[in-house]
Amino acid sequence: MVRKLVSREEAIYAVTAAHSAVWHAIAGFRYMWDAHDRGAPFELTIFEDLIATKPFAGLAIDWRYTVYPERLRERAQEVVKYTARQAIVDVHDAVWWYGVTAGLARQYSENPVVVLLRALRHAYSHRADDWDFGGTPLPMQWRHLSLEIGMGGKSVSQSIFLSDQLYLINDAIFLLDPGSALAATVHR
């Protein structure tokens, strides 16, 4: 594995960008849901890293993806699900590599937020649905979830939901920047 140097500012930027991506996916879900209710197709235009949805035109067309009304609800849920999963992977990498760069690797390896991020990163990156906590001493508690070997027989998809992913991303923001306005309003 290649060692990466990540500054605190870079880590905060990556984590807040991932947080924003999930909320944009949720907003897109709402738009797609409304389009379904009207019976209109939903058009997504992607140009490099920029995304626009009709009727918000204005970008040059590089790739176009149309979802027809009968598939909108299903597709909208998939977009949010996979955006949240990719956000968890990106958040883990930013937090972990910042911790290594700052000499906090040992402290971070014992933090329930980072331990859960690592387990989810492993599951999402390898398309697995089982828990792998590596050599982390367990049990640990993260919010309402007890992190333990075997996780009570529940798989990742049976244990972690979108709300949990949002709280976890928020906790990662708090870990990097306790004074962040994004983390201030979430009950800990």
Kindly tell me if the per-residue pLDDT of 97 is higher than 80: yes
* pLDDT given for residue 92 in this prediction: 96
Q: CA 91 to CA 94: how far, in whole Å?
A: 5
Question: With contact defined as beta carbons under 8 Å apart, do 97 and 6 qualify?
Answer: yes
22-63 pLDDT per residue, tens? 888 877 777 766 766 777 766 655 544 444 544 433 333 344
Tell me, yes or no, whether 19 lies in a domain: yes
pLDDT digits (tens, 9 = 90+) for 134-163: 888 899 999 999 999 989 899 999 999 988
Alpha-carbon distance 115 to 50, whole Å? 32
Which tens digits make up the pLDDT trace of 98-128? Answer: 999 999 999 999 999 999 999 999 999 999 9
Query: Is residue 161 one of the residues assigned to a domain?
Result: yes
The DSSP letter of residue 151 is: G
- Residue 164's contacts (CB-CB under 8 Å, 6 or more residues apart) are 143, 145
* Number of domains, the chain: 1
Structural domain boundaries enclosing 133? 8-28+73-179
